[in-house]
A and B are shown apart, each in its own frame.
Chain A
């Protein structure tokens, strides 16, 4: 039986770079960062200074009491998925129940409804009255964002929610690809969301001593992947969604195909909770290449995990060199986290959108703030400015998570 090919037919996003795909693409193409000083009511006493906070007005996207029943993470998820579905045209035609049974959702998030949970704890601890909103559980639970997406459009096919920290939504995309390939679905909404810029969550991240302090001159330049001056990651928030569709299904309805998802590597370091492991990353990249049936030099752009931590960036560059050999010196590598921040559970999906930009925009997005490349990160960088050139045959996106989960996705030109 021939392999069912998995097409990308719709994209959507919410981020500090804008709450739609056009704004997001424009910012990345301009190398413009969405990182900024966080307001006092977000940081409280956490000590965190900067983040990639989305400019978000729930009333602009949801009517009446609807927003009040949705955690911020679900609001992001619904907005990104709505843009992707509208762009794909998949649900515009009011699919019948039998069709909706063949459309599913694979979603990813690290901390789920963090704002609901943090707000609930704030309101009860230290007080005698433990009185909380009845919707607290269903707003905060980790699968709420994905379930809201399924409910809103009546998508009754396979459903899964992945929570593997920074690889969650890359895994969601990979597993959605498998669901379509295996014939369990004709289309899937795949993506992820994160909204954990709350005082309690920020304090927990600050305790890990892995966050970058603000850049003394320019808060927007605080995240510096692969740069000698890098000082850690910058947290972001938002969501990204892709509509994945079996090729014949997409062609039959005349949908625009932006790319094909062809490779998915998934490994676990099984060594350490937070320390990155070169071998686990190498195996994930090799697996994704083998699954795609591609030689390493077919890859024309790598959207790196590139969190801008001291150790993480070096290990990833070593892993890339181990997999790609001499080609590593030619293949453009960038970390767009320098602009949209680290979306954690949403990172894999938003970075897949960035990785697809050579296909969708004819542009390779850069690593912002990369002015002094670390010699220990000797790959072929795309510093500061986007590059335009020949559209590559394939692109790769890396997502390496706390807990040792490594996910690598490969997409090919349509």
Chain B
């Protein structure tokens, strides 16, 4: 499964977003994800991908596509396969 598919999968489970209707570019705030749900979701993302997201980076992530780019940049080259 590629990174975005895994993110979508996690978002379906943790944020109760409807699978198949997830727009990676939609601001999470616009699809009913509040700040508390978002940071709890990011805690699970860190576990899932084995990455750490700094407070500064966290503030830049507004949608799932932002998150995918952040993870891709954080993972070592081998992890991108």
Alpha-carbon distance between A127 and B60 when the two chains are bound, in angstroms: 30
Give the A interface residue count (CB, 8 A): 7
Q: Which A230-266 residues have a C-beta within 8 angstroms of B?
A: none
**A22 interface residue (CB < 8 Å to B):** no
Q: How far is the CB of B42 from chain A (nearest CB, A)?
A: 8
Residues 9-28 (chain B) with a chain A CB within 8 angstroms: 13-16
| CB of A69 within 8 Å of the partner chain | yes
Residue B40, interface by CB 8 Å: yes
B window 31-81: CB within 8 A of A: 36, 39-40, 42-43
Across the interface, do A135 and B40 meet the contact criterion of CB distance under 8 Å?
Answer: yes
* Distance from B72 Cβ to chain A, minimum over Cβ atoms (Å): 23
Residues from chain A with Cβ under 8 Å of B16 in the complex: 64-65
Q: Tell which of B13, B36, B39 touches A65, judged by Cβ atoms closer than 8 Å.
A: B13
Interface size on B, residues (CB 8 A): 9
A134 in contact with B13 (CB, 8 Å):
no
Residue of B nearest to A134 (CB): B39
Chain A residues lying within 8 Å of B14, measured Cβ to Cβ, are: 65
Taking a contact as CB atoms closer than 8 A, the residue among B13, B39, B40 that contacts A64 in the complex is B13
Q: Does A152 contact B (CB under 8 A)?
A: no
| Minimum C-beta distance from B15 to chain A (A) | 8
Residue A138, interface by CB 8 Å: yes
The residue in chain B whose Cβ has the minimal distance to the Cβ of A65 is B14
Q: Is the CB of B13 within 8 A of A133?
A: no
Interchain nearest-CB distance for B34 vs A (Å): 12
Do A133 and B43 form a contact, CB below 8 Å, given A64-B13, A65-B14?
A: yes
**B36 CB contacts on chain A under 8 angstroms:** 134-135, 138
Q: A138 — which chain B residues lie within 8 A by C-beta? A: 36
Chain A residues within an 8 Å CB radius of B39 = 134
Residue of A nearest to B38 (CB): A134
Q: Are B40 and A69 in contact (CB under 8 A)?
A: yes
A186 CA / B49 CA spacing, docked (Å)? 51
17 A-B contacts, Cβ less than 8 Å apart?
Answer: A64-B13, A64-B16, A65-B13, A65-B14, A65-B15, A65-B16, A69-B40, A133-B40, A133-B43, A134-B36, A134-B39, A134-B40, A134-B42, A134-B43, A135-B36, A135-B40, A138-B36
